[in-house]
Amino acid sequence: MDRRPIGVFDSGLGGLTAVRELRAVLPGEDIVYFGDTGRVPYGSRGEEVITRYAREDAAYLLEQGVKAVICACGTVSSVAGEALAAAMDCPFVEVVTPAARAACAATRNRRIGVIATAATIRSGKFPAAVARFLPEAEVFPKACPLFVPLVEDGHIAPGDPLASPAVPYYLRELRDWGMDTLILGCTHYPLLAPLIRDYLGPEVALVSAGREAALAAADLLRERGLLSGREEGGGCRYCVTDAAGSFPQVAEVFLGAPVEEVIPVDISRLERLGE
């Protein structure tokens, strides 16, 4: 048994997708969530900046004594995932590989769409991962840069006057292309899943990168004997770099429960993993 917490980080609140799933499948585990809300979004930044931020985010979680780290950010997983994995001395899970595996299992016509940030799409990591599991699959990647700020500002409800037109603006080509599976390659995007599902219809399977990463992490911890041994009672501590933002309100809506403890983190004091 290992009573240390699981660490989860994201550029903002999108990683709550993974937290919600972790709390469902591992209710006895404690979680430390780090959201870099003061520097969101990552997806429009260059690789050097993304990697620097990612090393700082991961180092902060390791300072909290976590037993495993989940990078619940599609951008970081795509751009800096390999570098983080190499520098970790604990189990590490990113979102690209689990989501690609799940999409390949779900597709029927072997046409898989991927929506993510611009940096993730530029990296080509999702198509490459799909090719490893299902070489004959076709992949249509699409950057959706407005989705992250919409989610961060709380524009997630069906009928929202800003989010509702953004969905067909980005997804019309993918729908017309005839995909039957869509990877939500940024963990912010599942918060828009009701709008996306309404537009695409029930015949298109939606694969949440956050959910698949949480399931993969649960399997990994179970295999390595790192679970706490508790069946319930796990808690979650939320750490953010902009405590004055909308994180508590939006997080409560998404998690379906009050966010009791939000800890402000001084960005200037963050160290970098491997340095």
**Among residues 73, 144, 236, 239, which one is catalytic?**
73
Residue 90: active-site member? no
Active site residue 73: yes
Q: How far apart are CA 178 and CA 167, in angstroms?
A: 16
Residue 274, classed as helix, strand or coil, is: coil
Structure tokens at 218: 């649960």
How many other C-beta atoms can be found within 10 angstroms of the C-beta atom of residue 149? 16
The whole-angstrom separation of Cα 140 and Cα 203 is 17
Give CA–CA dist 145/45, Å, rounded. 11
Closest CA to 139 of 207, 201, 81: 207
Residue 257 zone, left/alpha/beta (φ > 0; ψ -120 to 50; rest):
beta
Structure tokens at 47: 């690789």
Q: Which are the contacts of 62, defined by CB distance < 8 A and separation ≥ 6?
A: 7, 69, 90, 273
Among candidate residues 71, 104, 186, 236, the one labeled active-site is: 186
φ/ψ (deg, to 5) at 222: -65, -45
Instruction: Give the burial string for 75-103 (b: 16+ CB within 10 Å, else e).
Output: bbbbbbbebbeebbeebbbbbbbbbbbbb
- Could you give the residue numbers annotated as active site? 73, 186
